[in-house]
Amino acid sequence: MDKMAIEGGQALYGEVEVSGAKNSVLKLLFASLLAEGEHVFTNVPRLKDVDSTAELLESLNCQTQFEGNTFRVSVKKPAETVAHYDLVRKMRASILSLGPLLAKYGQAYVSLPGGCAIGTRPIDLHLEGLKAMGAEVKIENGYVHAQAKKLKGTRFLFDNVTVGGTENLLMAATLAEGTTVLENCAKEPEILDLANYLIQMGAKITGHGTGVITIEGVEKLSPSGQAFEVMADRIEAGTLLIAGAITGGEVSVTKVDPYLIESLLFKLKDTGAQVTIEKNRVTLKASPIIEAADITTAPFPQFATDLQAQWMALMCVAQGTSIITETVFENRFMHVQELVRMGADITPKARVAIVRGRPNGLSAAPVMATDLRASASLVLAGLAAKGETSVGRIYHLDRGYENLEIKLASLGARIKRTH
């Protein structure tokens, strides 16, 4: 079933629990490669990307078990430390197996992830950092071949902020000889989750969540013997709140720290919405007339690039013109043409899109998803547009949202999967 059929025009009301974060759990699973033995993670979302990671771990001689939202992995020494192309091409985050495998086993062959719809997604900073730690890194036949008897602690400054680069080097540095200082690090909350799990396994890390992370290498890491709960998915939480705003309803999201989406909450208030913050709960009451509000995406704590497409859908039905600036990825406006098919008035120019919003500015139409967050944007647009919208290639959505249509239906949306 690769389509989502949505009968739009229905205001959403109610409360929904946010699932565990895709962009945290994938890295936690790769971090488990640093310590042979049993690892247990709870609040793990049932996502395609988690299944792909399980496949990759199994190819590395691990046993995995995914029941409900609990994921167990038994890590053993792999016969060969190779992450094959046919697995990596399904999920580019597989490049995050590089740091752990190199640090633990002294060598790693990981397929180059290649680009994706939103950009070239280079990994040059990952590789430069590993070289700075003494690794010999070659690119051959589409694979990264890295080797190092023992990584050496060093100071490394990232040329630009990279979430994956910070994570790969953070994991590699835990088993390096001596101290590593990483500067101009990403501060995304998912990096805190990763660092906390590494510390639970015996790593010595300080500064995580700030721009400078210091890691004192240790001889060995061991599974902590206690289950680790994956943090809430801030992007899913933001997507659900925007669903409330775009349909003119009142939606609460629970089990999420409001601080994780503070930049979005400020912007939702600028649209005239009433936003109530409680401990691990946010409620949004939509404004009858949505005011246009500009956004510029940037690394945390600024407006998340992963919420840009969803914000654009909201601005299509706002009153007035908004400017959306995408500073993180070079091609993250793939959703624009599909929103235009639904009647939106958007002029994309390189990294800036001008959205001339109109109440009821979207009309139902068949559209096609191109990437994960674009598919979320089109679902949101379908919720606002009167009539039936069908969103094709919905497998993109399944990579990063757990039961989104079930959550939306529980809020009153008329949405179902079809062929």
Binding site for ligand EPZ (CB under 6 A): 22-23, 26, 93, 119, 121-126, 160, 162-165, 186, 188, 305-306, 328-329, 372-373, 400
Q: Which of 62, 116, 185, 316 is catalytic?
A: 116
- The SS3 of residue 231 is coil
**Nearest by Cα to 270 from 281, 284, 260, 282:** 284
Q: How far is CA 147 from CA 77, 80, 358, in A?
A: 16, 13, 56
CB 348 within 8 A of CB 315: no
- Which residues are CB-neighbours of 51 under 8 A, at least 6 positions away? 66
Q: In angstroms, rounded to a whole number, what is the distance separating the alpha carbons of residues 78 and 2?
A: 36
Least distance (Å) between residue 235 CB and ligand EPZ: 6
Residue nearest ligand EPZ, Cβ-based: 164
Q: Which two tokens stand for residue 344?
A: 């939106």
Please give the backbone phi and psi of residue 283, each rounded to the nearest 5 degrees, phi first: -120, 135
Q: Which is nearer to ligand EPZ, 188 or 405 (CB)?
A: 188
Following DSSP, what letter does each residue of 168-199 receive, concatenated?
A: HHHHHHTTSBSEEEEES----HHHHHHHHHHH
Active site residue 62: no
Q: In angstroms, rounded to a whole number, what is the distance separating the alpha carbons of residues 20 and 293?
A: 29
Q: In angstroms, rounded to a whole number, what is the distance separating the alpha carbons of residues 156 and 333?
A: 32
Sign of the CA dihedral running 165, 171, 177, 182: positive
Q: Which is nearer to ligand EPZ, 26 or 54 (CB)?
A: 26
- C-alpha angle 232-407-387 in degrees, rounded to nearest 5: 135
Least distance (Å) between residue 145 CB and ligand EPZ: 17
Least distance (Å) between residue 343 CB and ligand EPZ: 25
Q: Which is nearer to ligand EPZ, 283 or 377 (CB)?
A: 377
Least distance (Å) between residue 255 CB and ligand EPZ: 19
Side chain identity at residue 227, one-letter code: A
Q: Which is nearer to ligand EPZ, 26 or 355 (CB)?
A: 26
Q: In angstroms, rounded to a whole number, what is the distance separating the alpha carbons of residues 256 and 45?
A: 14
Please give the backbone phi and psi of residue 252, each rounded to the nearest 5 degrees, phi first: -115, 140
Q: Which is nearer to ligand EPZ, 256 or 365 (CB)?
A: 256
Least distance (Å) between residue 352 CB and ligand EPZ: 16
Q: In angstroms, rounded to a whole number, what is the distance separating the alpha carbons of residues 306 and 113?
A: 19
Least distance (Å) between residue 112 CB and ligand EPZ: 12
Q: Which is nearer to ligand EPZ, 49 or 250 (CB)?
A: 49
Active site amino acids: 116
